Structure 1
Amino acid sequence: MEPDAVRPFVEAVATAQLVTVGADGVPDATFLPVLWEGDRLVGHLARANAHWRRIVDGSPALAIVTGPDTYVSPSWYATKAEHGKVVPTWNYSVVHLRGRIVVHDDPEWVRALVTRLTDRHESSRDEPWAVTDAPADYIDKNLRPIVGVELLVESVEAKAKLSQNRSDEDRSGVARGLAADGVDPAGLVQE
Structure 2
Amino acid sequence: MATRPDAAAQGALEADVRRPVTFCYLDVAGEPIRVTDAPYSFTFAGTGDSDLDGFTFEAVDPRMVSVGVVKNKEAGADTLTLELSGLAGVDDETMTLFGDRSKWVGRDARLWKAMLHPIDLNRIGGMWCYYTGYMSVPRIVGDASSQVIQLDIETYLAFFGRASNRTYLDQQRYDAGDLSAQLAIATANGAGNPG
TM bucket (normalised to shorter chain) is under 0.3
What is the TM-score with the length of structure 1 in the denominator? 0.24
Structure with larger RCO (C-alpha < 8 A, sep 6+): 1
> Which has the larger helix fraction?
1
What is the TM-score with the length of structure 2 in the denominator? 0.24
